[in-house]
Structure 1
């Protein structure tokens, strides 16, 4: 499907690896110009080189910590100067690293989870808004999590941060409607991201086997899906790309589950 992204401009925060990179690949395949924002230059440069090879003109990686508002603003200022105008797409794919039960979590861990998982997104949207408003059309896609709808005791702070992403995104879909900027959320379920596969290896599970990975998730987190396997990052990318594209012309304020099947909420 032609998503209408030839020469569109896109920023993918957390696009150097995992689900963010999977989304960026889909945008690149359709000819979008892509800037990746993350914290590790080598990872970003490698990803930008890959995207250039897939058809993204002028793909670039920009180092910025989304926990630092000044760094975020500098990155978006660079993007504005580089492309000389508006921004069509902002994708926020960064999530918190904090895990633990309510009884175990410290105040500092709660603050870290909210800052990594939600306030980073807020900073990026705030910095991007002048560029998004200057574009002929604009879309925002934020990553939440299916665990906000099916709770797990071990993901208390993580889920709280992602619930904030969902709430802020819903508010943005309303407040930016007059600008015709569409804002949607994607909620991945058990996806074999780098963080999840790293955890699996640490508990002795073959992370390359999506069926074994789902069995371990069920045992440790109680998050089984209707399908008997974990998902793959490349199964998220096309969904995000559609929501971020001109093909999506009337869908805003939605929370789209990509989770292998769960109860409707």
Structure 2
């Protein structure tokens, strides 16, 4: 399906690996110019090379820390200078957070969860809005998590930050409707991301087997998906890409679960 990305300009924050990279690849496959933003230059350079090989014109890697407002402002200044002052797509995928029970987490860990998981997104959207408003069409896609609907006692800070992502995204969908900038959220379930694979290794599980990974999630957290396996980053990318595309012309303020099946709506 032609998603209408030919010639479009897109920024994927956290686009160097995992679900962010999978999303960036979908945009590149459809002809978008894609900038991937993150903290690791080597990872981003490899991602940009991959996107260029897929046909993304002028794919670029930009190193920046979303916790630093000045760096984020510079990212979008560079994007504006590079791509005629317009931006069609902003995808925010970052949002790490320390695991631990409510009693175990420190103030610093709570602050980090909100600074990286919420305020990083806020800074990126704020800096990108002038470019998005200049474009003929524009979309914002923010990544949340299914833990906002199915709580884990080991992830209270991460989940609280993601719940705030949902709230801010809904508010922005209302604010930006007059500009016809569509704002939507993707809520992945148990996806074999780098973080989840690291957790699996820490408990002695072969996370590269998605069936064993889901069995471990069931054992340790008690909330498996209906499907008997964990998801793959490549199964998230196409959903995010549709929400970011011109094909999505009337969906805004939505939160889309991609979780292998769940008991919540």
How big is each residue's C-alpha offset from its partner over 1:189-243, in whole Å with a ceiling of 9 and x where there is no partner?
0000011011111211011100100011111222211111000000000000000
Quick check: 2:117–2:158 contact (8 Å CA) kept in 1? yes
Structure 1 residue 85 displacement after superposition: 2.1
5+ residue gaps, structure 2: none
Q: How many residues align?
A: 265
Distance 2:254 2:51 in 1: 28
Off by >2 Å, runs of 4+ in structure 1: none
Distance 2:212 2:5 in 1: 37
Residue of structure 2 equivalent to 1:101: 101
**SS of the counterpart of 1:253?**
coil
Residue of structure 1 equivalent to 2:77: 77
**SS of the counterpart of 2:77?**
helix
**SS of the counterpart of 1:184?**
strand
5+ residue gaps, structure 1: none
Distance 2:116 2:58 in 1: 28
Residue of structure 1 equivalent to 2:27: 27
The answer as to 2:249 corresponding to 1:249 is: yes
Distance 2:90 2:219 in 1: 36
How big is each residue's C-alpha offset from its partner over 1:71-128, in whole Å with a ceiling of 9 and x where there is no partner?
0000110000011121000000001231111111111110000111110000000000
**SS of the counterpart of 2:108?**
helix
Distance 2:264 2:110 in 1: 28
Distance 1:98 1:172 in 2: 27
Residue of structure 1 equivalent to 2:200: 200
**SS of the counterpart of 1:15?**
coil
Residue of structure 2 equivalent to 1:162: 162
Q: Which moved more, 1:166-175 or 1:202-211?
A: 202-211
Distance 1:246 1:89 in 2: 10
Residue of structure 2 equivalent to 1:3: 3
Residue of structure 2 equivalent to 1:57: 57
The alignment yields a C-alpha RMSD, in angstroms, of: 0.7
Q: Which moved more, 1:215-224 or 1:141-150?
A: 215-224
Structure 1 residue 30 displacement after superposition: 0.1
The answer as to 2:258 corresponding to 1:263 is: no
Residue of structure 2 equivalent to 1:12: 12
Residue of structure 1 equivalent to 2:66: 66
Quick check: 1:36–1:61 contact (8 Å CA) kept in 2? yes
Residue of structure 2 equivalent to 1:180: 180
Quick check: 1:96–1:114 contact (8 Å CA) kept in 2? no
